[in-house]
Amino acid sequence: MNLWNFTLSFKDMVLDLSFMSVFLVAGTVFRRYGLFFQKYLVPNNLIAGFIGLILGTQVLGWIPISGERMGLYVYHLLALTFVAIGLRGEKTSWGKGPLSFSISMLTSYIIQGIIGVLVCFIFIYTIRPDLFAGLGLLLPMGFGMGPGQAFTIGTGWEKFGFEGGGMAGLTIAAVGYLIAYFAGMVIVNKGIRRGETALIEGLDSITSDMRTGVIKNGEKPVAGFLTLSMEAIEPLAFQVGVIGVVYLISFWVAKGVEFLLLSIGGAGFVSTVWAFHFVIALIVALVMRKVLDKTKKSYLIDKGLMTRTAGLFVDYLIVGSICGISLKVVWMYWAPILIMAILGGIATYYMLKYVCYRAFDDYHFERFAAVFAEMTGTLNSGLVMIRVMDPEFKTPVAEDLVYSSGIALFLGMPLLVLLNVPMNFFNNSLKGYWITLLLLLLYGVILWIFWRLIGFIHFKKTSKIKE
């Protein structure tokens, strides 16, 4: 499916967004009155997505939801989310937390990728010789990077023979969500009962507002501040307008890279450029923010409104990603996906638990629960776990987690290239996957050496300060 030349009628788009909005409202009602959802703090967007999946053409057939159209929305909402995040502003102070978080995330990607490829090899060399081995490389995409990346990359691999690649990516991401929230809440509840958290001593500290998802009483949080006069323009409209400008520039940059590749005979890499358009969008957003900072015009951008806009994109992205799941594709790949998810979840749990109790100086349990939820779900999953343990965000864990995601994206550029090695350099041959497996192992070793070196330098600095 060509995600930029896809034929879409205005009627379909309006109805799709209207149905997704209905699902979000219904998800809010289910969370408000459903004790099960309150117990595990299942987010409204996840509930909404499964409502849409059940009511759509895949199950009951009551609502005409197209998986291809949902994939189209996911693709573009992913990039728009990164644009909003890039425009928000920079972190004023850095420490060991964000870097350690980001390297632990990259290590999770590597471990998940290795497990995914090995599981696919077992199937290929035994009962499923026709299985597309790249399915295994979608595990870190769907688990650690989210449905947008998993769908975008999976769709790009379809031209190499990966039937339903985009939908397979969405399926893996959906399984990851379930692990993030249900396993994550089990971890958090157990930690609270055992007194492992730094700020709360029991489950009673989880307020009614947090359970129901509705702030009924008390002072309401501030969403953001107005940076322009409402008589001139709606300030939120301006924020969204800036996002649109950045996305248009991102499109032109991607077209420029495409033209350059075609001129030097690199046509085979063009699809990869458009698959990673969200990275281009983030880079352009960061450059735009830097320009605004240098020209002293950044006061026009409100961090709160940008955060809320990014949250809006994420909510609709998650609803679309689950609504767009193809049960036909699920049935096609259910066995390897199930085994990959179980083994990947277990490996991620033990690796992160080991790391978080050794790599950080404080809030070990909070960091572990948060990064586990993010590495199986999304950044939003991790923030949900933090909010349970730290409702007022008194600790630096939430901020470290947010900024480490950006660091991980840039440090992970070589990893994104590695995941495409079998297709771009070996024409999807098994030899390419074996080489990729070895490169992932090598990349993991280099990361750990770098991490240990950073830890040693930090230890030396801390020792001198104490002296």
Neighbouring C-beta atoms of residue 156, cutoff 10 Å: 21
Mean pLDDT over 287-304 rounds to 91
The DSSP line for 7-24 is ---HHHHHHHHHHHHHHH
The DSSP line for 162-197 is -TTHHHHHHHHHHHHHHIIIIIHHHHHHHHHHTT--
What's the pLDDT band for 90 if we cut at 50, 70, 90?
low
Domain ranges within the chain, ordered by starting residue: 10-200+234-466
Q: Taking the CA atoms of 443, 439, 112 and 407 in sequence, report the sign of the dihedral they define.
A: positive
Mean pLDDT over 123-146 rounds to 90
Distance, first Cα to last Cα, the chain: 62
Mean pLDDT over 243-254 rounds to 95
Taking the C-alpha atoms of residue 396 and residue 218, their distance in angstroms, rounded to an integer, is 25
pLDDT of residue 92: 47
pTM: 0.77
Rounded to the nearest integer, the mean pLDDT of the chain is: 84
Residue 318 has pLDDT above 90, yes or no: no
Find tokens 């990851």 and name the residue: 176
pLDDT of residue 207: 72
Residue 289 has pLDDT above 50, yes or no: yes
pLDDT of residue 458: 53
pLDDT of residue 239: 94
